[in-house]
Amino acid sequence: MVSFSGLQQWGLALAVLAGCETASAATTQQWKSRTIYQTMTDRFALTAGTTAAACNTTAGLYCGGTWRGTIDKLDYIQGMGFDAVMISPIIQNIDGRASYGEAYHGYWPNDLYSLNSRFGTHQDLLDLSAAVHARGMYLMMDTVINNMAYMTAGKDPATNIDYATLTPFNSSSYYHSYCEISNWNNYTQAQLCQTGDEIVALPDLYTEHEAVQDLLVDWAKQVIATYSIDGLRIDAAKSVNPSFLTTFHDRVGTFMTGEVFEQNASVVCDYQNHYLPSLPNFPLYYTILDAFTRGNPSALFQRIALVQDLCTDVPAMPTFIENHDVDRFAFANDDLTLAKNAITFEMLYDGIPWVYQGQEQHLNGSYAGTHNREALWETGYNTGSELYVLISKLNRLRKHAYQLDPNYIDLQTVPLYQGGSELGFWKGAFGRQVVMLLSTQGSTGSAYNVTLPMTYGAGIEVVEVLSCVNYTVNPYSQLIVPMDKGEPRVFFRTDLMPGSGLCGYSSNSTSLTHLRLSAAAAAAAAAAPSGGESVARVSWGVMAMVALVGVLLV
Ligand SMILES: *[C@@H]1O[C@H](CO)[C@@H](O)[C@H](O)[C@H]1NC(C)=O
Ligand SMILES: *[C@@H]1O[C@H](CO)[C@@H](O)[C@H](O)[C@H]1NC(C)=O
Ligand SMILES: *[C@@H]1O[C@H](CO)[C@@H](O)[C@H](O)[C@H]1NC(C)=O
Ligand SMILES: *[C@@H]1O[C@H](CO)[C@@H](O)[C@H](O)[C@H]1NC(C)=O
Ligand SMILES: *[C@@H]1O[C@H](CO)[C@@H](O)[C@H](O)[C@H]1NC(C)=O
Ligand SMILES: *[C@@H]1O[C@H](CO)[C@@H](O)[C@H](O)[C@H]1NC(C)=O
Ligand SMILES: *[C@@H]1O[C@H](CO)[C@@H](O)[C@H](O)[C@H]1NC(C)=O
Ligand SMILES: *[C@@H]1O[C@H](CO)[C@@H](O)[C@H](O)[C@H]1NC(C)=O
Q: How far apart are the CA of 468 and the centre of ligand 8, in A?
A: 20
The ligand minimizing its distance to the Cα of 336 is: 5
Could you confirm whether domain 414-496 is CATH 1.10.3720.10?
A: no
Sheet holding 422-427: strands in order across?
Answer: 414-418, 422-427, 434-439, 489-493, 461-464, 469-472
Ligand number, closest to the Cα atom of 482: 6
CB 401 within 8 A of CB 408: yes
Q: List per-block mean pLDDT (blocks of 10 residues) for the chain, which spans 554 residues.
A: 38 40 76 98 97 95 98 98 98 95 98 98 98 98 98 94 98 96 94 94 97 98 98 98 98 98 98 98 97 94 96 98 98 98 98 98 98 98 98 98 95 95 95 95 97 89 98 94 98 96 88 81 71 33 34 39
Contact status, residue 501 vs residue 397, Cβ threshold 8 Å: no
* CA-based nearest residue to 434, from 347, 359, 364, 503: 347
Per-residue three-class SS string for 165-212? HCECCCCHHHECCCCECCCCCCHHHHHHCECCCCCEECCEECCCCHHH
| Alpha-carbon distances of 314 from 282, 310, 347, 510, rounded to whole Å | 12, 9, 14, 27
Ligand nearest to the CA of 479: 6
Q: Which ligand is nearest to the CA of 521?
A: 8
- Report whether residue 364 contacts ligand 5, using a CB cutoff of 6 Å: yes
Which atom of ligand 8 is found nearest the CA of 505?
A: 5
3-state secondary structure of 135: coil
Question: What is the pairing mode between strands 255-258 and 318-319?
Answer: unpaired
**Taking the chain, what is the end-to-end CA distance rounded to the nearest angstrom?**
62
Distance 226 CA to ligand 4 centre (A): 42
Residue closest via CA to ligand 7's atom 8 equals: 470
Ligand 6 contacts (CB < 6 A) are 447-449, 480, 482
Contact assessment for residue 10 and residue 3, using Cβ atoms and an 8 Å cutoff: no
From CA 169, how far away is CA 153, in angstroms rounded? 21
114 Cα to the center of ligand 1, angstroms: 31
Q: Give the single-character DSSP code of 326.
A: S
Ligand 7 neighbour 470 (Cβ under 6 A): yes
For residue 426, give every residue at least 6 positions away whose Cβ sits within 8 Å of its Cβ, in sequence order, or none.
413, 414, 416, 433, 434, 435, 436, 455
Report the residue among 180, 187, 188 best suited for mutation to probe ligand 3: largest number of ligand atoms under 8 A from its CB.
188
Which protein residue has the closest C-alpha to ligand 5 atom 2?
A: 364
Partners of 545 in the β-ladder: none
Ligand 4 atom closest to residue 265's alpha carbon, by position in its atom list: 1
| pTM beyond 0.85 | yes
Q: Which DSSP state fits 379?
A: G
Report whether residue 186 contacts ligand 3, using a CB cutoff of 6 Å: yes
Q: Does 267 sit in the ligand 4 pocket, CB within 6 Å?
A: yes
Q: Is 429 exposed, middle or buried (0-12, 13-18, 19+ CB in 10 A)?
A: middle
Pocket test of ligand 8: the residue of 404, 494, 507, 508 to mutate, having most ligand atoms within 8 Å of its CB, is: 508
Does 184 sit in the ligand 3 pocket, CB within 6 Å?
no
Instruction: Give the binding-site residues of ligand 2, using a 6 Å CB cut-off.
Output: 164, 170-171
Q: Are 397 and 492 in contact (CB under 8 A)?
A: yes
Strand partners of residue 205: 175
Q: Tell me what pLDDT residue 533 has.
A: 35
Domain chopping of the chain, boundaries: 414-496, 512-553
- Rounded distance from Cα 400 to ligand 8 centre (Å): 13
Substitution candidate for ligand 4 out of 185, 266, 268 with most atoms within 8 A of CB = 266
Alpha-carbon gap, residue 75 to 497, rounded angstroms: 25
10 Å CB burial of residue 1 (0-12, 13-18, 19+) is exposed
SS3 101: strand
510 in contact with ligand 8, CB cutoff 6 A: yes
Asked if residues 388 and 360 have their Cβ atoms less than 8 Å apart, the reply is yes
User: Which residues does the annotation place in the binding site for substrate?
Assistant: 108, 233, 325, 373
The finding on whether 358 has its CB within 6 A of some atom of ligand 8 is no
C-alpha–C-alpha distance, residues 318 and 409, integer Å: 12
Query: Which residues are tagged catalytic?
Result: 235, 259
Long-range contacts of 264-269 (CB under 8 A, 24+ apart): 265/303, 265/306, 265/307, 265/310, 265/311, 266/310, 268/311, 269/307, 269/310, 269/311, 269/312
Secondary structure (H, E, C), 448-512: EEEEEECCCCCCCEEEECCCCEEEECCCCCEEEEEECCCCCEEEEEHHHCCCCCCCCCCCCCCCH
For residue 168, the CA-to-ligand 2 centroid distance in Å is: 8
CB of 390 within 8 A of CB of 438?
A: no
